[in-house]
Structure 1
Amino acid sequence: MSGEAPESFFSGAGRAAAPTRRLRVASRRPAGAPPVDVAEAEDFLRLFHAENRDSGSLQYRIDRMRYEVETVGTYRHTEAELAFGARVAWRNSARCIGRLYWKSLKVRDLRDVHTVADIAGHCVQHLRQATNGGKIRPVISIFPPDTPSRPAPRIWNEQLIRYAGYERRDGSVLGDPRYRGFTAAVRSFGWHPPREPGAFDVLPLVVETAEEGAHMFALPRDAISEVPLRHPDLRWFGALGLRWHAVPVISNMRLSIGGVSYPAAPFNGWYMGTEIGARNLADPGRYDLLPVVAERLGLDTSRPDALWKDRALVELTRAVQHSFHEAGVTITDHHTESERFLTHVRREEAAGRKCPADWSWIVPPMSGGQTPVFHRYYDTEPQLPDFFTDEDATRRALHGGPPHFS
């Protein structure tokens, strides 16, 4: 439900720690965004008024939008339009299996927050609100959009919480190999790992604006909720020292509402167990723990037809599910969520709406054929509003390249 690539798919600033260092990277002031597409804006306003009948005159709102676009190249959404647009973007997100809950998304309107320190502080607030003592709440924090006169803030991180990957001399990686480039970059910019680096060291948050450049912020420990992983039956499992963070806050996707683009709009749902157990901890390009678990289980790993990977995958995912439940942290399983997703599809069809879905993302990475989402086709035509991967943010997150505004 977190939307991890390519896995299945959530006033007054609360201050983060002071920036560790202003990043010494090449930066230039961008020209800004192109003018808003008026036709796309009209389509959104018609959708908003169709689903919110008490919103006043549609024609007056369209005329006002057109005037703003002709004058400054963009227009400002009302608070109600922003909240509706964010929720519908989740409703339309083809890669997310957890869309049944789209109406419950808490929308934080932060369009008047412009400094890197305040943006980082609100990201910390987001984590605290979303964690909610373990009863995870879907939250989105929407910072200023791109406009023709002013580029939007950017968050470099793929997610607000991710673990460092330290490349060793022999080419192996301690931690998460996916973030070895980002880890090397923030270290070169002045980030200092713990005195004894570990496999689950939380990376700093990097926020950039055109005016201030890019700055790093250490996330406060009390804003980071993590779950130590134990197995319900295997006593040795706890000795592996595994853990995972409770809230998956995606921060590298652009929110597009009625022609207006919000590049900094971190959002979260809650985890599905397979995202952690069958992907983050299991993928060869991530923590690659299946051989370790299989060896401890005493499985024959010499032959693929012994299905040792499958057996290890199940036990690893069982440990994740068990541990989150024991810790009182919201998590769901792929069987339950598959049923709920089809409930969402039926509701959308009953409302006369299309429900776009990417089969390769909706079908879970474990026991896919045993879930009902496997055995059908889906509408693939994109719908707006929606979330889009920000390739520039992804490049920075994975490789730590210098900032670049398009």
Structure 2
Amino acid sequence: MPPPSPSASLRQEAERFVRQYHAEHPQLAAEAGAEGGAVEARLREVRAEIERTGTYTHSPAELTFGARVAWRNAARCIGRLYWRSLVVRDLRAVSSPDEVAEECFEHLRLAGNGGRIRPVISVFAPDLPGRPGPRIVNDQLVRYAGHRTAQGRWAGDPRSAGLTERARALGWKRDQEQFQVLPLLVRAGPGAAPEWYELPDGAVSEVPLRHPDHAWFADLGLRWYAVPAISDMVLEIGGIRYPAAPFNGWYMGTEIGARNLADAERFDLLPVVADRLGLDRSSERTLWRDRALVELNVAVLHSFQDAGVTMADHHTESERFLRHIAQEARHGRPTPADWSWIVPPVSGSATPVFHRYYDPVDASLRPAFLAREPHES
């Protein structure tokens, strides 16, 4: 049997989403005056629009619901307890790289919120038949540059080496600083040449890192940005794909202290911290890595709290995630979770999320945030 046509597949996904939207908003049926009347009326509208144009348009309420449920369905995210609080910016009329970049900077300002980080998503123009939407090349709106020096050492973040070279090829000037913010690269569509935009003053909030007990820690000159806004995933709602939809929550301390700054493939700071602590690195059995890792995470949590910037610790966030699971169970919904992402990279077995199994990840679950395919970039 041949696969369904694109329009038939879209109709199926649209119908599934519309029914889900109305099932989770039972008040709509009451407002319509007849049980089932509201959903059937909306389905007739959607089917007619797909038949006429090859696509359909979500209402603002549907877009908001779809974006929030995509977060609820994100199996790798431990912070889903707050999915209903996601601020959805409807920017579907925005598609030019200049406008997308400006709205991304505004996203960072709104999400930063003077340190009280708000979960925000900015949804730009969708892919339409014959008219693809814009793409953001960066994997996060804020990233630090990385490159090898003439001596073969890394300056900055090795993870960003490829993006750094792409920006340089477009004319951006790199320096030798450890924490140089990369420009934002935006495409008008797949295959289009990207435009680059320096992030303006006021868009990026950074926190200098200090330790509550070790004054020398400040001399390391470390810092990290406040808003972790993912920007290279596709938001799919009811068969409609939004290829530029940057979104953020707030950081859990271990994301910075146990991964970004500690990983050997990233800033690789554990040997530096261990030496400043006077730890014995002659053998792995001294557990110098573990001891340095804890102090690095103490510094991150202390610094964000001292700066008044929202951040969760891995013990508290683990307890919140179990509350989220319990809430979803009361609504009769599963909570798919990727154990390897949910369990924190520090003291995993000391957190409650370690000692249990989770609903399996369902790749067909929608709405969802999806990895972009290479041909979609």
Q: Tell me the SS of whatever aligns to 1:207.
A: strand
- CA distance in structure 2 between the aligned counterparts of 1:232 and 1:210, rounded to whole angstroms: 47
Structure 2 CA distance for aligned equivalents of residues 38 and 48 of structure 1? 15
Query: Is this contact kept in 1: 2:338–2:361, CA < 8 A?
Result: no
Question: Structure 1 residue 40 and structure 2 residue 19: aligned?
Answer: no
Give identity over the alignment, percent: 60
Partner in structure 1 of residue 251 of structure 2: 271
Instruction: List gaps (5 residues or longer) in structure 1.
Output: 1-32, 393-403
Q: What CA deviation, in whole Å up to 9, does each residue of 1:30-88 have, x standing for no partner?
A: xxx95452212111111100111233410111111111222222111000000000001
Q: Which amino acid aligns with 1:207?
A: V
1:176 aligns with 2:157: yes
- Between the aligned partners of 2:170 and 2:154, the Cα distance in structure 1 is 20
CA contact (8 A) 1:274 1:366 kept: yes
**TM-score, structure 2 length as denominator?**
0.93
Q: For the residues of structure 2 that align with 1:362 and 1:213, how far apart are their CA atoms?
A: 37
1:122 & 1:158 partners in 2: Cα distance?
A: 16
Query: 169, 181, 186: which is aligned to 1:202?
Result: 181
2:42 match: 61
Q: Is 1:257 matched with 2:230?
A: no
**Normalising to structure 1: TM-score of the pair?**
0.87
Determine the structure 2 residue equivalent to 1:363. 343
Alpha carbons 2:135, 2:189 under 8 Å: kept: no
Secondary structure of the residue aligned to 1:353 is coil
Q: Which residue of 2 aligns with 1:388?
A: 370
Secondary structure of residue in 2 paired with 1:174:
strand
Partner of 1:92: 73
The runs of 5 or more residues in structure 2 that have no matched partner are: 33-37
- Does residue 239 (structure 1) correspond to residue 219 (structure 2)? The answer is yes
Answering whether residue 265 of structure 2 is matched by residue 285 of structure 1, we say yes
Partner of 1:9: none
- Is residue 75–residue 361 contact of structure 2 (8 Å, CA) maintained in 1? no
C-alpha spacing 1:173/1:363, structure 2 compared with 1 (3 Å): same
Moved more, 134-143 or 211-220: 211-220
Aligned partners of 1:105 and 1:150: how far apart in 2?
28
TM-superposed CA distance for 1:391, in Å, is 4.0
Q: How many residues in Structure 1 have an aligned counterpart in Structure 2?
A: 361
Amino acid at match of 1:50: A
Paired residue secondary structure (2:273): helix
Assess if the C-alpha contact under 8 Å between 1:207 and 1:216 holds in 2.
yes
**Structure 1 contact 34–147 (Cα < 8 Å) conserved:** no
Instruction: Give distance in 2, aligned partners of 1:353 and 1:210.
Output: 36
Question: CA deviation digits over 1:288-308, x for unaligned, max 9?
Answer: 000100111111112111111
Please name the residue that 2:102 is paired with. 121
Aligned residues: CA RMSD:
1.5
Distance in 1 (alpha carbons) for counterparts of 2:27 and 2:280: 65
| Correspondences of 1:105-116 after superposition (within 5 Å) | 105-116=86-97
Higher RCO by CA contacts (8 Å cutoff, separation 6 or greater): 1
AA in 1 matched with 2:255: E
